[in-house]
Structure 1
Amino acid sequence: MTFQSFSPIQVSGTPMQVAFHRTEMAVILSLYGRMVAAGEWRDYGISCLRDVAVFSIFRRTAENPLYRIEKRPKLRAKQGQYAVIGIDGQVLKRGHDLKPVLRVLERKLIRAVE
C-alpha cells in the first residue's frame, strides 16, 4: 500500500485558495462569541476561495448573511485586504488591519440601558 501526501500546488507564488490565519480567526471568533452571548448572532459559515476568504454571519441558519468579513490579499497594497460587508452588499468598513475594521460590528454591542 502506498500513500501520497497531497499539498496544494502554488502557481507563480500565489496559493490555490485564500484562508484566514489562526490569529485572524481568534479575533473574529472573539467578536462572534460576544455577539452570540448578547443574542444577536446565531450561526456562521466560512468559505475559502481562490481570491477571497469569507466569514459569513447569520441571525438564523436559513437566511442571507447579516455581515460578511472578507479577506482579499490582492487589495493589500490598495484599499486594505479586510472588509466588512452588510446584508445589502454595502462595504461598511475596509482597512489594512482586522481589529479596526471589526470595530464597526462592535458598536452593535453598545446599547442604551433604560
Structure 2
Amino acid sequence: MNSGFDPSGTGRVVAFPGQQSAQVGFDREELQRILDLYGRMVAAGEWRDYAMDFDRQAATFAAFRRTAERPQARIEKRPALRNKQGMYTLFGEHGQVMKRGHELANVLAPMERRLVKAVED
C-alpha cells in the first residue's frame, strides 16, 4: 500500500513522499454520509449487506437487500468526471443511472426519498 495515516491526527490518508496513491477512495465525510443512509435503510428493512470496492478509476459502495443478489443501489465516485457531469453517480438495481452530480447529498436524494416512503408504509 502506498499510503499511511497523517501524523497531524486528522485521520486523512496521505501518500508517502514521492509516491502517488494507487486507488480512489471515499473521504471521511463522504463515507459518513453513505453509512448514515445505509444504517437508516437497514433499520427500515430495505438493505441487509454492503460491499466496497476501490481501484485506480473509482470507489464504489454497493448496498444489497440480500447478499446473494445484485446490489439494490450502487454509489460510485469517479474523480475523472469531476469537471464533466460530476464525480458521483447513483446506479439502480439493473445498472441504470438514477442520478449524477457534483454533490454527494444531491446524488443520494433518490435513496433518501425511497427511505421516507419505506418508513411511511
Q: TM-score range by the shorter chain?
A: 0.7 to 0.9
Residue segments in structure 1 that go unaligned for 5+ positions in a row:
1-5
Cα distance in structure 2, aligned partners of 1:63 and 1:45: 12
Contact 2:2 2:22 in 1 (8 A): no
Cα distance in structure 1, aligned partners of 2:54 and 2:114: 26
Q: Which residue of 2 aligns with 1:78?
A: 84
The structure number with the bigger radius of gyration is 1
1:56 corresponds to which of 57, 62, 83:
62
C-alpha RMSD of matched pairs (Å)? 1.6
Q: Which residue of 1 aligns with 2:45?
A: 39
Residue-by-residue CA offset, 1:15-60 (whole Å, 9 max, x unaligned)? 3110000110000011111110000000000000110000000001
- Is 1:96 aligned with 2:91? no
Number of aligned residue pairs: 105
Amino acid at match of 1:61: T
Amino acid at match of 1:92: M
Amino acid at match of 1:52: A
| Length-normalised TM-score, structure 2 | 0.81
Cα distance in structure 1, aligned partners of 2:117 and 2:23: 38
Amino acid at match of 2:109: R
- Is 1:7 aligned with 2:2? yes
Cα distance in structure 1, aligned partners of 2:117 and 2:95: 25
Amino acid at match of 1:18: V
| Length-normalised TM-score, structure 1 | 0.86
Q: CA deviation at 1:109?
A: 1.5
Residue segments in structure 2 that go unaligned for 5+ positions in a row:
4-18
Q: Which residue of 1 aligns with 2:25?
A: 19
